[in-house]
Amino acid sequence: MTKVWLALATSFGFLSVALGAFGAHSLKNLLDEYGKSIYEKAVIYQMFHTLALYAVGLLQMFIKNTSLSIAGWCFLIGIFLFSGSLYLLALTGMKWFGAITPIGGISFLLGWAFLGFKIIQAKL
């Protein structure tokens, strides 16, 4: 799974930059201040958790006797639910997308908790 996490991180890193540039240039006159702040938050959290996916892939190379995949899946699900719902909220103005965002946030928290637990548990 190491290559999978690194490939996903690379893909989501590319998308973070592309979506950030799209938001800054193509959406600047279309979104109000609230929409811009929501969209920006989505990009920032996506990039942070893209780096977390990189960490999962890199750490997996050094921690041989345990799997970090649960953390990786939590970060991936969090990107889709947290950032994805914020992108949709910013672009559509449909407030109910905001109800999905906390589920993604919980997924991020679980990913960090699991990653921390596995690092503490590992024999480095």
Q: pLDDT for 8-52, tens place per residue? A: 999 999 999 999 999 999 998 999 999 999 999 999 999 999 999
One-character DSSP codes across 31-88: S-HHHHHHHHHHHHHHHHHHHHHHHHHHHHHH-TTS--HHHHHHHHHHIIIIIHHHHH
Domain that holds residue 107: 2-121
pLDDT at 95: 93
Phi, psi of 3 (to 5 degrees): -65, -35
Q: pLDDT for 49-101, tens place per residue? A: 999 999 999 999 988 878 899 999 999 999 999 999 999 999 999 999 999 99
- As for how many domains the chain has, the answer is 1
Tell me, rounded to whole angstroms, the distance of Cα 86 from its chain centroid. 12
pTM attached to this predicted model: 0.93
Residue 82 and residue 104 in contact, taking contact as beta carbons nearer than 8 Å: yes
